[in-house]
Structure 1
Amino acid sequence: MKWSEFSIHTTQEAVEPISNILHEAGASGVVIEDIADLVKERSTVLGEIYQLDPTDYPEEGVIVKAYLPVNSFLGETVDGIKASINSLLLYDIDLGKNHVTISEVNEEEWATAWKKYYHPVKISEKFTIVPTWEIYEPVSSDELIIELDPGMAFGTGTHPTTVLCIQALERTVQKDDKVIDVGTGSGVLSIAAGLLGANQIQALDLDQVAVESARLNCKLNKVQNVVNVSQNNLLDGIEGPVDLVVSNILAEIIVRFIDKAYEVLKENGTFITSGIIQNKKNEVKEALQNAGFVIEETMVMEDWVAFIAKKK
């Protein structure tokens, strides 16, 4: 089978929304080549990371790559992707060079490309993300392993916004909690909540491809008995009360359902939000406070922000 590699030269700020656009267009995954990864200092407290090859990275900015099947609709799909990316300018998102290239690869090369970029990474005190093809031995008895295959959905669980959410979940989830994961994507946050002891998790996503992917990943990690994955627009029609709501999506989307999140939470319930670029931080913070939330912690990683807020 032939695949088309869609590559766009952009900025760190645009990585998350562009990844989402590519996912919604049917991409099986994204590869992120960020020049900043070569020079930033990394903590070794959580275990390390592998050697990066400078030749894989642009001289500046970020390159986001996705793989689309070559079919009769490819031209229309590519045009739609370009239009959606350009529409991000309406949200004041810096697209940088916004230079698109398209090339063709065969299935074997596509599969090899994924494995080149994806290795076990310890992302918190307890959690390690492991690709399904890697053999990994836990280094401690309380280490929690999340197995993911990036061929199932965009995202490998190691983007800063996902890491922030998982670290926040690790601090807040209690045994037998009821949790809602809004915009579940690959299902990684629901899986983390289930492994931490939550016993009733609603994983919601508007995209049916993400729903199926999240279901597969939940089965892979043996949490399908506590995670119910369904297609839904944000929190529309969802009722509480629940102990925790978590969402890792664009700031512009988060502010649209903050009031509903407050409504479905129990008293003293927790709302974890991420996917927030630094220049949108105050907008989300103000919306949370206006809805009645008290922000207990602001977490930062690179250019990204996450909030842990309480319904008081």
Structure 2
Amino acid sequence: MKWIEIQITTTQQAQEAISELLIEKGAKGTEIVDPYAFKDVLKINEYLDYADDGLVESYGSDVIVKAWFSEDCDMDKLESDIENSLIRLKSFLDTGAGVIVVRLRDDSEWKDNWKQYFKPFKFTNKIVIKPSWENYNSNSDELVIELDPGMAFGTGTHETTKMCAMLGEKYIKQNDKVLDLGCGTAILAISSIKLGAASALAVDIDTQAIKTAKENVLRNNVEGRVTLKQGELKDIKKEKYDLIFINIIADIILELTQSVKAYTGTGTRLLLSGIIKTRRDEILEAYTSVGFKLLEEMEQGDWVAMAFNA
């Protein structure tokens, strides 16, 4: 399906008025890209771990209002109407540059084009991730996981997921009972089964993540051994697990310091990832203070992963 995209460069003062104007002109949806609002959020919450400097800078300094119209609109007339409306709006609001850019967009631009960049790759020493649309001839010593990330986090390319999997490969034992908290695509739960775990419970609060995880579980023929649940740790029956993955963000990992103990027993291995380096000491202190013993830690890029023993 094709859409007409209208993009207007403006100011914070005029962004809401322009968004409303575009809706009145028949826009099916609008988006405001406000770098100042984003930077304000970062000032309020210094612990937005995934917001690195490159992301902040990528927003630039201009406020952009985008809107999408049906392809059957008269593009020239639409642009002319918007130009005239902006002129009238400028008489009582600072609309800034007011530059209008019109493009014809196709759904395929964001639905499937990204797939060309997602190729089979070595996830750990033993595991290869193969996108569902790619062919791959595996070696005899490789374990292959077929994955479609959909809209869920967890393709295996991010350092946090990769480190969790590498630690998992080291610490998973035959017939382990595994809990994957914040499972995303269920890549870690599926990896656990491939590495010899008897069962895995994969949990995520996001509906789309659970939908994608279900498809991946079926695709890898592990539906009899991986159970999916939408919810949080508090929604899970309190029982002991041999190994627990928590690949979320530091704030959530800290919140779980006490409650996760109800799911551990003697010898439970707890693998934590999603920890920005600046939060490393905080996490270490919190978990050792309640009795967990640090086994090892890994670093990749700006991220840290830790393995603990209960």
- State the TM-score, normalizing by the size of structure 1: 0.70
- For structure 2, the 5+ residue unaligned runs are 6-26, 67-102
Q: Provide the residue aligned with 1:87 in structure 2.
A: 41
Contact 1:262 1:293 survives alignment (8 Å)? no
Structure 2 counterpart of 1:142, one-letter code: D
Aligned length: 243
Kindly indicate whether residue 192 of structure 2 is the aligned counterpart of residue 238 of structure 1.
Answer: no
Q: Provide the residue aligned with 1:130 in structure 2.
A: 130
Provide the C-alpha distance between the structure 2 equivalents of 1:81 and 1:215, rounded to a whole number of angstroms: 36
Contact 1:245 1:261 survives alignment (8 Å)? no
Structure 1 counterpart of 2:57, one-letter code: K
- Give the Å deviation of 1:155: 3.7
- Give the Å deviation of 1:82: 9.7
- Give the Å deviation of 1:232: 1.1
**Structure 2 matches for 1:179-258, cutoff 5 A?**
179-258=178-257
Kindly indicate whether residue 116 of structure 2 is the aligned counterpart of residue 116 of structure 1.
Answer: yes
Q: Provide the residue aligned with 2:57 in structure 1.
A: 97
Provide the C-alpha distance between the structure 2 equivalents of 1:308 and 1:132, rounded to a whole number of angstroms: 31
Q: Provide the residue aligned with 1:17 in structure 2.
A: none
Q: Provide the residue aligned with 2:297 in structure 1.
A: 298
- Give the Å deviation of 1:80: 11
Contact 1:204 1:231 survives alignment (8 Å)? yes
Question: 1:152-190 CA deviation, whole Å, 9 max, x = no partner?
Answer: 524421111111011111011111111111111111111
Q: Provide the residue aligned with 2:261 in structure 1.
A: 262
Q: Provide the residue aligned with 1:31 in structure 2.
A: none
Provide the C-alpha distance between the structure 1 equivalents of 2:4 and 2:181, rounded to a whole number of angstroms: 30
Structure 1 counterpart of 2:41, one-letter code: S
Provide the C-alpha distance between the structure 2 equivalents of 1:251 and 1:269, rounded to a whole number of angstroms: 21
Provide the C-alpha distance between the structure 2 equivalents of 1:268 and 1:144, rounded to a whole number of angstroms: 26
Q: Provide the residue aligned with 2:30 in structure 1.
A: 75
Question: 1:83-130 CA deviation, whole Å, 9 max, x = no partner?
Answer: 788635433145532517668741333345212321111021101111
Contact 1:235 1:261 survives alignment (8 Å)? no
Contact 1:114 1:150 survives alignment (8 Å)? no
- Give the Å deviation of 1:244: 1.0
Q: 1:111 to 1:199 in 2, by over 3 A?
A: same
Cα root mean square deviation, aligned: 2.8
The structure with the largest alpha-carbon Rg is: 2
Q: Provide the residue aligned with 1:271 in structure 2.
A: 270
Contact 2:159 2:303 survives alignment (8 Å)? yes
Q: Give the secondary-structure state (helix, strand or coil) at the position aligned to 1:174.
A: coil
Greater shift, 98-107 or 220-229, is seen at 98-107
- For structure 1, the 5+ residue unaligned runs are 6-70
Provide the C-alpha distance between the structure 2 equivalents of 1:3 and 1:295, rounded to a whole number of angstroms: 53
Q: 1:81 to 1:270 in 2, by over 3 A?
A: farther
Greater shift, 203-212 or 227-236, is seen at 227-236
Structure 1 counterpart of 2:171, one-letter code: T
Q: Give the secondary-structure state (helix, strand or coil) at the position aligned to 1:255.
A: helix
